[in-house]
């Protein structure tokens, strides 16, 4: 069946599969989900609600098959996206008696070559995240082999296909989606008829995995993966995506044409596929980005503002220069009718956007303020400009660094600081024996360290100290210092690996204690959910839980980090920066020397953090200029939660 047959895309109860399992937190049903969406798409408030819905659907499959006297056969995926699903399945097993004894599983893929016990192997991932915590029979667990001689791989792949066939086929297949649109490791160019096989990984895929392997050079170049045809043979498919960084590829997979270069688009031909996404990942779908182009809408001031801003940027005319014909040519006549005339709607939107601009005189003064910084540089990267203004306004500011950021320090920085320490000990005639012994122990550990190994506690402490010193140096540039810095070192981060533990009561208690001690009037929180490691999202979760327990809740402003910026229509406040203020902000970023020149985890953007900040802040100001508002050199954006 071709894409043209998929005329009914939906949210909630209209999507394929038992919608009653999806819960009330999904966005749906939604009349704006039309034939533009070639894969039924369910949108959730957050990734936790998404995980619960998918886990409940899996539980229903398991129970229904058991009631029919048959075994459920599950196709499973790895990576950060399905982690919440597996945690919820473990909870369902422990608290609600969901049984896995007769469940058969087949995993999508595995790196090659890789030992099953390697900390980066998907074999180990599945046992640590799911299998070891439920009553599944190990004989029913199937994972592609990444430890075979190359000459044996083709035969093992054929055996894998036969094992799926003997099991009766896959009842329910979980997928994630990569930035290239790959499903499993079916990279661009993978054909619809492909089966389980050895593939070469795309450059973007390897860069995306670089953080887990502590460097792209350590990521395997090949993998064993189920093919597109293997996936399409499953009776039901759930494809999951969370975060703003997936929004573009979600739109391409859901609304674009079937394309050999985007494997996920082949799912348009599957009769029972559902996309499960959170709101950030759905942001570029037409029903959210431009709903007025999809169907009739009920105009509100906020929606009108988005539409007029879109029209202004699309036509290249300032807001106050838009004419009735501009609106008519772009299917926005109903908007003009709602507000009376083009001049009326132009003026309303122009004034709404202009009212968001807040210079120093309109910012808080004489208040108690806490800036929560997930890593020891997010404060100056994201809000270095406003921090300087708030200092000048006489506010009492505390910057709370929530994690040590120690996994993001290169080993060569540790060697450099150890050499400095030994030299200082010699110059100052300090007790050199302890310093030399520390140096020798650490250098011996680093010499024996293999790519991806977790650092020793001693090395982690040194890396933490490096980042703390850099953070204080950055604060000094904007007029604060070590007295205003608090290093919370939340426990969830202390794994020594990129993948962290879930937020727990100890993390929340530390944040709440700080809030109760300082009793702030205003807090700044990272709302950048595109952080590729998830640390920003987890820190926000800890803050939200801590704030919920307070008698007096402070006002909360959300900023974004190095990955995204609020749009001018999403932002509550737009804070202009002069050329000198932007330069000062960049100087503060420069103090984080371990993250400069070549950051350990830069994501897919090759630019340094200061370059991203400069471009992003200047572009926000440039958007206002193109809309015909006041012209500024640069601008930061904030949302009041």
The one catalytic residue among 37, 88, 110, 187: 187
187 is annotated as an active-site residue:
yes
Residue partners of 478: CB distance under 8 A and separation at least 6:
380, 384, 387, 388, 391, 584, 585, 588
Burial of 609 (0-12, 13-18, 19+ CB in 10 A): buried
Cα–Cα distance, 490 to 479 (Å, whole number): 26
- Sheet arrangement for strand 396-401: 485-487, 396-401, 368-373, 522-526, 555-559, 634-640, 573-577
Q: Are strands 141-142 and 172-175 parallel, antiparallel or unpaired?
A: unpaired
Q: CB of 503 within 8 A of CB of 538?
A: yes
Instruction: Looking at 316-361, list the stretches that DSSP marks H as alpha helix, in order from N- to C-terminal side.
Output: 324-329, 333-339, 342-354
Q: Per the structure block, which two tokens stand in for 233?
A: 């043979």
513 CB neighbour count, 10 Å cutoff: 12
Cα–Cα distance, 586 to 385 (Å, whole number): 9
Of 90, 265, 235, 220, give the one whose Cα is nearest residue 167.
235
Instruction: Looking at 355-456, list the stretches that DSSP marks H as alpha helix, in order from N- to C-terminal side.
Output: 378-392, 411-427, 432-448
Burial of 374 (0-12, 13-18, 19+ CB in 10 A): buried
Using DSSP, state whether 637 is helix, strand or coil.
strand
Residue partners of 634: CB distance under 8 A and separation at least 6:
385, 576, 577, 578, 579, 581, 582, 614, 617, 618, 620, 621
Cα–Cα distance, 116 to 346 (Å, whole number): 62
Catalytic residue numbers, as ranges: 187
């Amino acid at each position: 069946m071709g894409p043209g047959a998929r005329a009914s895309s939906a949210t909630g109860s209209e999507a394929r599969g038992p919608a009653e399992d999806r819960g009330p937190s999904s966005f749906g049903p939604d009349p704006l989900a039309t034939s533009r969406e070639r894969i039924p798409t369910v949108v959730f408030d957050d990734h936790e609600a998404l995980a619960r819905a998918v886990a409940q659907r899996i539980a229903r499959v398991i129970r229904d098959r058991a009631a029919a006297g048959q075994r459920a056969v599950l196709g499973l995926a790895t990576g950060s996206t399905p982690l919440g699903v597996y945690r919820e399945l473990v909870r369902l097993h422990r608290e609600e008696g969901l049984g896995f004894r007769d469940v058969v599983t087949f995993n999508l893929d595995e790196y090659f070559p890789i030992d099953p016990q390697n900390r980066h192997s998907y074999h180990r991932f599945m046992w640590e995240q799911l299998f070891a915590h439920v009553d599944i029979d190990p004989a029913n667990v199937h994972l592609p082999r990444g430890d075979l001689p190359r000459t044996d791989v083709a035969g093992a792949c054929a055996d894998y296909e036969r094992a799926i066939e003997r099991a009766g086929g896959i009842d329910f297949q979980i997928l994630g989606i990569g930035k290239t649109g790959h499903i499993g490791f079916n990279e661009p160019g993978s054909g619809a008829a492909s089966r389980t096989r050895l593939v070469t990984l795309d450059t973007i895929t390897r860069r995306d995995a670089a953080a887990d392997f502590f460097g792209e050079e350590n990521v395997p170049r090949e993998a064993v993966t189920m093919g597109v045809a293997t996936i399409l043979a499953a009776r039901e498919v759930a494809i999951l995506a969370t975060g703003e960084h997936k929004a573009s590829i979600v739109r391409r997979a859901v609304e674009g044409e079937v394309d050999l270069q985007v494997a996920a688009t082949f799912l348009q031909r599957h009769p029972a596929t559902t996309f499960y996404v959170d709101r950030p990942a759905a942001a570029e779908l037409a029903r959210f980005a431009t709903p007025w182009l999809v169907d009739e809408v009920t105009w509100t001031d906020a929606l009108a503002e988005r539409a007029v801003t879109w029209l202004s940027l699309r036509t290249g005319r300032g807001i106050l220069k838009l004419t009735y014909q501009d609106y008519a040519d772009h299917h926005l006549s109903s908007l003009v009718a709602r507000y009376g005339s083009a001049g009326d709607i132009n003026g309303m939107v122009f004034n709404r956007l202009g009212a968001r601009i807040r210079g120093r005189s309109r910012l808080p003064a004489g208040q108690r303020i806490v800036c929560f910084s997930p890593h020891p540089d997010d404060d100056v990267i994201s809000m270095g400009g406003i921090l300087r203004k708030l200092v000048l306004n006489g506010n009492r500011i505390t910057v709370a660094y929530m994690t040590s950021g120690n996994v993001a320090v290169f080993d060569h920085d540790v060697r450099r600081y150890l050499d400095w320490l030994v030299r200082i000990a010699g110059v100052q005639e300090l007790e050199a024996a302890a310093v030399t012994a520390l140096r020798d122990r650490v250098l011996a550990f680093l010499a024996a360290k293999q790519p991806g190994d977790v650092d020793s506690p001693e090395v982690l402490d040194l890396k933490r100290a490096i980042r703390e010193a850099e953070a204080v140096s950055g604060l000094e540039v904007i007029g604060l210092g070590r007295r205003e810095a608090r290093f919370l070192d939340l426990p969830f981060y202390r794994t020594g690996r990129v993948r962290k533990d879930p937020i727990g009561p100890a993390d929340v208690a530390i944040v709440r204690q700080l809030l109760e001690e300082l009793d702030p009037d205003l807090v700044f929180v990272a709302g950048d959910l595109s952080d590729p490691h998830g640390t920003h999202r987890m820190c926000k979760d800890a803050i939200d839980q801590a704030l919920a327990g307070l008698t007096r809740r402070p006002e909360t402003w959300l900023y974004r980090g190095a990955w995204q910026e609020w749009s001018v229509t999403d932002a509550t406040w737009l804070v202009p920066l002069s050329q000198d203020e932007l330069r000062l902000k960049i100087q503060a970023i420069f103090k984080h020397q371990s993250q400069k020149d070549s950051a350990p985890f830069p994501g897919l953007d090759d630019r340094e953090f200061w370059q991203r900040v400069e471009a992003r802040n200047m572009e926000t100001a440039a958007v206002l200029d193109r809309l015909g508002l006041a012209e500024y050199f640069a601008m930061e954006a904030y949302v009041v939660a």
